[in-house]
Amino acid sequence: MNSNYALHEMLEVREIAAFKSVCLTKSKTMQALVSDPELVQILQQDVQLSQQHLQELGIVLSKVTQ
């Protein structure tokens, strides 16, 4: 394990990643259900940000397994 992170910190990162994954799924699903163009745009932005955040969290998590 990488000595830069304590076990509880890595568990929190995993919890955040799981939560962000659920948020991403919800935003993608809601896009198909809403008809307001402004809300669709907001959801699209959320999807893009969530994907970016998950990639960043994945980088943090991958450093631990090395």
Examine residue 1 and state whether it is found in any structural domain, yes or no.
no
Does the pLDDT at position 1 exceed 80?
no
Q: How many domains does the chain have?
A: 1
Q: Is residue 20 part of a domain?
A: yes
Q: Please answer whether residues 13 and 58 qualify as being in contact, where contact means their C-beta atoms are separated by less than 8 angstroms.
A: no
Give the pLDDT confidence of 3-42 residue by residue, as tens digits.
578 889 889 999 999 999 999 999 999 999 999 999 999 9
pLDDT number for residue 66: 60
Does any domain span residue 36? yes
Task: Give whole-number Cα distances, 16 to 4, 8, 45, in Å.
Answer: 18, 12, 19
Residue 2 lies in a domain: no
Domain that holds residue 44: 7-65
30 lies in some domain? yes
Structure tokens given for 64 = 């631990």
